[in-house]
Structure 1
Amino acid sequence: MLVRSLLPEVPADNTLTVDGQTLTHAGLYSAAAALAARLTGSGPVAVIAHPTLDTVVAVVAAQHAGVPVVPVPPDSGPAELTHILTDSRATLLLGSTSDPPVPGFETMPIRTDGPPAPATPAAPGDTALILYTSGTTGAPKGAELSSRAIAADLDALAEAWQWTPEDTLAHGLPLYHVHGLVLGVLGALRTGCRLVHTGRPLPARYAAAGATLYFGVPTVWSRMVASPACARALRPARLLVSGSAALPGPVFAGLRALTGHRPVERYGMTETLITVSARADGPRLPGCVGTALAGVETRVVPEPGHAVGELQVRGNTLFNGYAHRGAATQESFSRDGWFRTGDAATIDADGVHRILGRMKSDLIKSGGFRIGAGEVEDALLTHPAVHEVAVLGRPHSDLGEEIVAFVVADRVTADALISHVATTLSNHKRPRQVVFLDALPRNQMGKVQKHRLG
């Protein structure tokens, strides 16, 4: 059976297009089997994950050969690339001849001109992918994901989103993260739907894809809203999905006005895959990420006297652990076996989750109140002069922490923005300081890197 029961043994009668190049599902399986003959018996295989069909072939080939695959960002700096390769203990590095050399590692070109290899049996619980975290709190860690966890997650999402072989999925997300690779490629293969990967997530390319299902991150959707003609081209779609960071309220409203769709928001982490999502047949509310998926349990562990607390999850989508980091794996779980996400959240009586941000940087403790940075950010974004904003807490001798807003805006004063928040939210939630910037620091998935703000 192909790819440890993760993908159908018989390929769907459909196509995958990546940046203009197309293969049928059957053609992909055949190419992967040929490449797998060169990988069988190796240890983890790293793949420089360019947005190309070669990357998809390499990922499927490694799974066909029964070895873990380690997707590597193609723009990794030398130190990051060396860390990922050594930490994962990769034995092979697959890439193109144009990729820069890595000292100590030979890059093997992705070739599919040999005889096919038989699929190598492997237990569903074995590690299938090693995906590296963003490393915002230290060196990136490799999250080991099994084919069983990936399959469970994709099946739960297919049920929640009514995702079928009749869909055409379009996105332009990186092929080295959960959103772009697991959901956006393996999800299309598992459901058997057509895939159009746009190479880059540009509004014009999304508009031209003619899809029923679109995946994007908030930066992508913000750019779509800023390109009204492209956004209107998505009206015939069935579902727009947003993830990887909170979707600002004004962007949600803009998508609804231009496309006619309320976007589905979902929540997850590299270590847990997607655990919570709005449903295709359920309510989609701005600022909310829906309910727990089938097979997933969630809970909020609050501090005494407060409804807000850390979101913890357990279920069949969780990772096997961090590669070669037993202590870090153990520390990421509670004593009774729940994964500690580190995110602040609330869950209402209907099971609807609202993510307020990271416990350490986005849950601000000011004057005895617990304030979610995201709530203040959404309030600031309703001001017409504001384009981007990030809110965090700074130590304060009297309040404990004071609210500081880092803002990208046109011709507006700090006092005007502080007053604007005070007319929208409770007075204690207004920023005490506003810092104007030309741009916010972001990673490749569009997430604001708050640790880089002073």
Structure 2
Amino acid sequence: MLLNPSAGEGSAVRVGEAGLDREELWAAAGAVARRISGAGAVAVHGEASLSTVVAVVGGLLAGVPVVPVPADAGTAERRHIVRDSGAALWLGAPQEGIDLPVVPVDPAERAPFTAPEPPPGAAALIMYTSGTTGRPKGAVLSRRAVAADVDALADAWDWTSEDVLVHGLPLFHVHGLVLGVLGALRVGSSLLHTVRPTPAAYAAAARGDHAGPAAPARSGARDKGRGTLFFGVPTVWSRIVRDPDSARAMAGARLLVSGSAALPDPVAEGLRAACGHSPVERYGMTETLITLAARADAPRRTGWVGTALPGVESRLRGEHGEEVAPDGEAVGELQVRGATLFDRYLGLPEATAAAWTDDGWFRTGDAAVIDGDGWHRVVGRMSVDMIKTGGYRVGAGEVESALLGHPSVREAAVVGEADDDLGQRIVAYLVGDGVNPGAVIDHVAAQLSVHKRPREVRVVDTLPRNAMGKIQKNLLGGAAG
């Protein structure tokens, strides 16, 4: 069973000011399930609201594949996702460009719904990729894959029904929806979604300052519903570090989790100084869910995303399929296989076949290193972040981490740009205060091999990011793809 209504009986779900206990949520989702039962697939407007949670749970109760649609999608992207997925119904408020029948979702409505549990291999979600290398593709994720991923992470993070999960991440991505909603519902922990992941909201949740219908009534240290498990991306943690009061409030949390990009050393050190601990990191993709994670009881290694989860295997391969040694230094393409992976790209058999090696491993397209203890460090995308300069192969992520260690640098993006002499030259785009290009170049040369230093520094006001906080390097001028 993917979602267990009896898990964490009485635990609550709260999104902003609106909340339901477990029994109310299942009854509200039952009303949705009754309306959509038998549909081929349903599209859900993935805004940060209780209605979104009810809609997704309703789809899963009915055994109907759910297609989360980004709340910030433009009309063309929204239309593509809905048409490509074959969704028959739209759940949520009407949106421009959607010509499907609309099913309203009212969290106050209640109705019983009973149906056989779908088989484990049935599709649970059709989640669309970010589209950075073409039109977004629909990754079909089975109920088995979602259950396997949540169970493996619950083991890694000691995540139980006694936890209160807090996050403000989008409800249309793996981190915010699969982990942050379905994970809480499967494990049975209470869920508090802050709508936006602001330092003040996270601090309030850590202190338990959110009395209301979603505050769990339990005995012991968690009586007041104080957050114990917090999900965020590096941008969130960076903002919290710059707000000392909020950073200190995180001291009461049991575990902080960071993902979607490498956590900069200064952010990890700032959290450790302010609240006594820093986040564990994890890695995943739309197609794979989370495959690598640092365990809650493991030493913190900033920038390293831990080991393969139970049921998952990983390896490195070179440009021509050759083995790459797991020595902590050699860079290769990260390939994975296991229980959490997607079944296929919807309607794209050729793209599906191209995504897998002949011996059954998924090509992530990410460049990484693996050390002798099985820990992974992701240094970027093979297509964008593997820079070939002067005969060397340099991972952009490693250079970015070194740049972020300089006190004047707040944000960094490193790309390779065409160069007649070097093939590609390393160019750093930096956001900061009083950045001296020569000083930061020298800083990198002192931290890493000299050939990994940026040849050029460009100071900018902001870096382009997507909804998950990932830097969109394709929007930086001159980046070689």
TM-score range, shorter chain: over 0.9
Matched with 1:397 is 420
Shift in CA distance, 426/101, structure 1 to aligned 2, threshold 3 Å? closer
Match of 1:192 among 178, 188, 191: 188
Cα distance in structure 2, aligned partners of 1:183 and 1:305: 32
Correspondence for 1:155 among 138, 145, 151: 151
Summarize deviations over 1:246-300 as a string: whole Å, max 9, x none.
1112111111111211310000111001000100111220110110000000001
Q: Is 1:60 matched up with 2:67?
A: no
Counterpart Cα distance in 1 of 2:11 and 2:119 = 28
Match of 2:344 in 1: 321
Query: Following the alignment from structure 2 to structure 1, what is the Cα–Cα distance between the partners of residues 266 and 462?
Result: 18
408 and 114 in structure 1: CA distance in 2 versus 1, 3 angstrom threshold: closer
Cα gap change, 1:111 to 1:16, in 2 (>3 Å) = closer
The alignment status of 1:242 with 2:258, answered yes or no, reads yes
Residue 31 to residue 407, structure 1, CA distance change in 2 (3 Å): same
Give the fraction of aligned pairs with identical amino acids, expressed as a percent. 60
On the 8 A contact 1:168/1:193 being kept in 2, the answer is yes
- Match in the other structure for 2:222: none
3-state SS of 1:420 partner: helix
Work out whether residues 101 and 107 of structure 1, in 8 Å CA contact, stay in contact via their aligned partners in 2: no
Alignment-derived partner of residue 431 in structure 2: 408
**Residues in 1 aligned to 2:36 and 2:314: alpha-carbon distance in whole angstroms:** 39
What's the offset of the Cα at 1:10? Answer: 2.2
Is 1:14 the counterpart of 2:11? The answer is: yes
Show the 5 A alignment for 1:29-428.
29-96=26-93, 99-111=94-106, 113=109, 115-209=111-205, 210-303=226-319, 307-428=330-451
CA contact (8 A) 1:141 1:323 kept: yes
State the Cα RMSD in Å. Answer: 1.4
TM-score by length of 1: 0.96
Structure 1 counterpart of 2:99, which letter?
Answer: G
1:352, 1:380 → 2: CA distance? 22
Aligned residues, how many?
448
Deviation per residue, 1:159-207 (Å, 9 max, x gap): 0000011111100001000000100011111111111111110110100
Report if aligned partners of 1:212, 1:238 keep a CA contact under 8 Å in 2.
Answer: yes
Conservation of the 8 A alpha-carbon contact between 1:170 and 1:214? yes
CA positional deviation for 1:111? 3.7
- Contact 1:51–1:175 (CA<8 Å) still a contact in 2? yes
User: Could you tell me the TM-score, scaled by structure 2's length?
Assistant: 0.91
CA distance in 1, matches of 2:357, 2:68: 29
1:290 partner amino acid: G
Structure 2: 5+ residue stretches without partners: 206-225, 325-329
Query: Can you give the 5+ residue segments of structure 1 that lack an aligned partner in the other structure?
Result: none
Distance 1:199 1:114 in 2: 24
How many angstroms apart in 1 are the aligned matches of 2:270 and 2:304? Answer: 16
Are 1:445 and 2:468 counterparts? yes
Inter-partner Cα distance in structure 2 for 1:117 and 1:195: 23
Question: 1:98-157: CA deviations, max 9, x gaps?
Answer: x43435223321146464232244211111001111111111111111110000000000
Q: Does the 8 Å contact 1:36/1:116 carry over to 2?
A: no
